[in-house]
Amino acid sequence: MFEGFQGAEIDTGDAGIFCLRAGGGPPLLLLHGFPQTHLMWRDIAPALASRFSVVCADLRGYGRSSCPASTPDHAPYAKRTMAADMMRLMEKLGFSRFMVAGHDRGGRVAYRMALDHRGSIDKLAVLDIVPTADAWDRADARLALGYWPWSLLAQPEPLPEKILSGAAEAVVDNALNGWGSPPSAFPAEVRRAYVEALRAPAHAHA
């Protein structure tokens, strides 16, 4: 996976952000969703690298990025904080303006980047995500049952953490098998990586 990509861990101030990069051309940042990592881009990133300078990053608290200590208001893991991480990451990689594509949680971070740093974002693409406030306002029983992780992740500590880390394999399988492509689209090594990351208490809290 990711043949020709180089890995790096970039210090953004209070977090170490892991990324893979390759290619030439206009810079493009790819952000993953939950419960994934940069590995979700394994099939498309190499193709994009033929046209773009591709950066696949792990959000703070995910994958190989660090898990800074949290606070009662969870501000260290707010989308605004994650957006600031990505801006510093791209700046340190030498990109003052760039495109960003975000999936799911990465899409929410991308929204925040475009709002807070619009002068630096040339183009924005969000995948498999809708405006969260609108979704909550229109929620019904069907949405509540289909998108139960939204409600779970919004519960006070430590309930979500205990469920996520204690049943990491079931959570990952439910997400990948229920929301995504056919189960065969996710190699065993990718599933294992997602599960192992989620089992770590600090990652589950993030």
What pLDDT tens digit does each residue of the chain (206 aa) get?
899 999 999 999 999 999 999 999 999 999 999 999 999 999 999 999 999 999 999 999 999 999 999 998 889 999 999 999 999 999 999 999 999 999 999 999 999 999 999 999 999 999 998 887 888 888 888 888 878 888 888 898 899 999 999 999 999 998 898 877 788 889 999 999 999 999 999 999 98
For residue 21, the domain's CATH number is 3.40.50.1820
Identify whether 49 is part of a domain. yes
If one counts the domains in the chain, the total is: 1
pLDDT of residue 100: 99
Contact at 8 Å (CB) between 87 and 96?
A: no
Ranges of H-type helices in 117-158: 132-137, 141-146, 148-153
Q: What DSSP element (H or E) covers 101? A: strand 98-103
Residue 149: C-alpha distances to residues 53, 90, 103, 163, 189 (Å):
33, 30, 16, 11, 24
Q: In the sheet that 98-103 helps form, which strands lie side by side, from edge to edge?
A: 6-11, 16-22, 53-57, 27-31, 98-103, 121-127
Identify whether 188 is part of a domain. yes
Identify whether 1 is part of a domain. no
pLDDT of residue 50: 97
Which domain does 117 fall in, by range? Answer: 6-205
Contact at 8 Å (CB) between 194 and 35?
A: yes
Closest to 89 measured CA to CA, from 169, 176, 31, 152:
31
